Amino acid sequence: MAETTEKPPKDIESEDEEEQTFESLGLDGRLIRALNKKKIDKPTPIQQVAIPLILQGKDVVARAKTGSGKTFAYLLPLLQKLFTLEPKKKLAPSAIVLVPTRELSQQVYTEVSSLIELCRVPLKVVQLTSSMPAPDWRTALAALPEILVTTPACVKKCLSDGVLQPTSIDESLEILVLDEADLLLSYGYEGDIKALTPHIPKRCQCLLMSATSSDDVEKLKKLILHNSYILTLPEVGDIKDEVIPKNVQQFWISCSARDKLLYILSLLKLELVQKKVLIFTNTIDMGFRLKLFLEKFGIRSAVLNSELPQNSRLHILEEFNAGLFDYLIATDTSKSKENEDNGESSIEPKKSKKHAKHKADSEFGVVRGIDFKNVHTVVNLDMPQSAEGYVHRIGRTGRAYSTGASISLVSPDEMAIFEEIKSFLGDDEKDDSNLIPPFPLLTKNAVESLRYRAEDVAKSVTKIAVRESRAQDLRNEILNSEKLKAHFEVNPRDLDLLKHDKALSKKPPAPHLRDVPDYLLDATTKEASKTVKLARAAMGNTNPACRHGFKRKSKKNKDPLKTFTAEGHKRARRGGMKQEGKDGNGNHRQKKRKT
């Protein structure tokens, strides 16, 4: 590979002064119209600087904070470049977008497909994942797509299996994107990327997009880039306190590890945080423990982790984004309790999970880069294991300059990592910057009022109950995933009919736990809860499904697992979004959404 000769960092601040539009960036009218249909009319700062440079054919390394619109920053000029390429039969794609996880691959694929559709251009995009059988790869690539979205591991496999010929790549490849470049190497893809680099032609334009800077990005730059422009948004730059978007308010709560369930219950039950809420745990068992615990108080949530089949994971993300449930518990390391006990690392899932009974997915990434829609609050029930992990978690709220908040529950054992995170963000005790102040809305009294109930219920969520629920959930999801796979390929909209926040325990929550009696609430908490509700109301409709434009239907629906018909598909297409309920015995039934 050619050596990297970096151009001086581009000064973005000076360009910020005059208001830029997509037109002034030189973007094709078809793309602008497509964006307008998506209600996007103004470029974000990273788009303002990256798009013209990429259109000029420059190699670009762009670093901008989470949720700042990096995907369109490269996709728009990439598509425009393909619009103008001479139409000739090419045996390999003209553009390859490499991402670290399957979820991201799906997300990027969806974005490109939608832009292509809206622009009405005859471009083809395919997505390859390692779970697809090799013949499917051949079929997908035989359609001669212009764009390939995949992970580095898949590209390497394509090369070694002869599905992609090095000579074809050399002839065809015009643009290569490494999205979430700061994460690619930590997912263990270095060898895979090295297998591709000798085949990247000199003329190929290379783009590296990342949210944080790291040695890994530097390594990739050396490996891939020829002559790059380095773009760093000024508000990210070296000013670490602004790695987190300004529109996200960060808080912390000091509590013992034992009290974490009590605290999260207090936050949710007393309605002191804005929905939707994304809660992070470090182990899958903890995720299930929390789900079971909240369930006893009538709080429904869904879990998302690397153990679930891919179809289920993608569907959980879709449903959460569509606003069909408010609480999602995500485990963002593939470290299960068992593996922790074995001392296995979660950093390189590709190597570590081979012998697990149900293999956790090496290409799973719930946090990194996923565009969660309308998450108002991120809660760290467990603290992440690194400052970068914190940045990526918190970055799931405050997307595209919407507002958000994060609350970290920090036990004494986690104080060291909390201090490390604060110093990474530039929080300096000496200058009283206090970037992460204590969460002001939860009083000691409010917590104590729930302690007795919470501790009682927490005791009932035993290790065995967690293990059984985890196994049950996995069985259900595998069953769903396999049964539904073929059906959903034909009727993708039927996915809407499945729900993932079903209760795991057989008993319905006891009424005294479901509703917090008024006498338990102090005046401060009532006031705080009212303020949160008012703020929520001021932000728009409080019915999540309505917020996303789905109409309720009054007609009763059937369990989609038992009613695979084309009818169901038509119903969904006509706009009926239904919600599945569950009775106390764990049986599915359909019910109308309560408003």
| Binding interface with ligand ATP (CB under 6 A) | 40, 42-44, 47, 64, 66-72, 211, 369, 371, 395, 399-400
- The SS3 assignment for 62 reads strand
Of residues 25 and 140, the one with the C-beta less far from ligand ATP: 25
Give burial (CB, 10 Å; 0-12/13-18/19+) of 117: exposed
Of residues 174 and 180, the one with the C-beta less far from ligand ATP: 180
User: What is the smallest separation between the CB atom of 64 and ligand ATP, expressed in angstroms?
Assistant: 6
User: What is the smallest separation between the CB atom of 295 and ligand ATP, expressed in angstroms?
Assistant: 30
Give burial (CB, 10 Å; 0-12/13-18/19+) of 307: buried
What is the chain's percent helix, strand, coil content, to nearest 5? 45, 15, 40
User: What is the smallest separation between the CB atom of 184 and ligand ATP, expressed in angstroms?
Assistant: 13
Of residues 64 and 294, the one with the C-beta less far from ligand ATP: 64
Q: Distance from first CA to last CA of the chain, Å, rounded?
A: 60
Name every residue whose Cβ is closer than 8 Å to that of residue 479 and which is 6 or more positions away in sequence: none
Of residues 208 and 265, the one with the C-beta less far from ligand ATP: 208
Of residues 389 and 395, the one with the C-beta less far from ligand ATP: 395
Of residues 68 and 106, the one with the C-beta less far from ligand ATP: 68
Buried b (16+ CB within 10 A) or exposed e, 208-234: bbbbbbbebbeebbebbbbebbbbbbb
The CA distance from 199 to 93, in Å, is 13
CB 284 within 8 A of CB 337: yes
> CA distances (Å), 491 to each of 309, 488, 506, 571, 575, in order?
19, 5, 31, 11, 14
What H or E segment, with its residue span, contains residue 217? helix 215-224
Locate 330 and state its tokens.
Answer: 């995500």
The CA distance from 388 to 409, in Å, is 17
User: What is the smallest separation between the CB atom of 8 and ligand ATP, expressed in angstroms?
Assistant: 23
Half-sphere exposure of 349 (CA within 13 A, CB side): 21
Of residues 345 and 403, the one with the C-beta less far from ligand ATP: 403
The CA distance from 93 to 145, in Å, is 6
Of residues 384 and 395, the one with the C-beta less far from ligand ATP: 395
CA 217, 219, 225: angle at the middle one, nearest 5?
Answer: 85
Of residues 40 and 356, the one with the C-beta less far from ligand ATP: 40
> Concatenated DSSP letters for 299-350?
---EEE-TTS-HHHHHHHHHHHHHTS-SEEEEE-S---HHHHHTT--SS-HH
Which residues partner with 582 through β-bridges?
A: 588
Which residues partner with 35 through β-bridges?
A: none
The CA distance from 244 to 421, in Å, is 11
Of residues 108 and 441, the one with the C-beta less far from ligand ATP: 108
User: What is the smallest separation between the CB atom of 125 and ligand ATP, expressed in angstroms?
Assistant: 17
The amino acid that residue 164 corresponds to is: L
At 218, phi and psi to the nearest 5? -60, -45
User: What is the smallest separation between the CB atom of 29 and ligand ATP, expressed in angstroms?
Assistant: 17
User: What is the smallest separation between the CB atom of 33 and ligand ATP, expressed in angstroms?
Assistant: 14
Of residues 64 and 267, the one with the C-beta less far from ligand ATP: 64
Kindly state the DSSP code that residue 12 receives in the 8-state scheme.
H
The amino acid that residue 233 corresponds to is: L
User: What is the smallest separation between the CB atom of 36 and ligand ATP, expressed in angstroms?
Assistant: 11
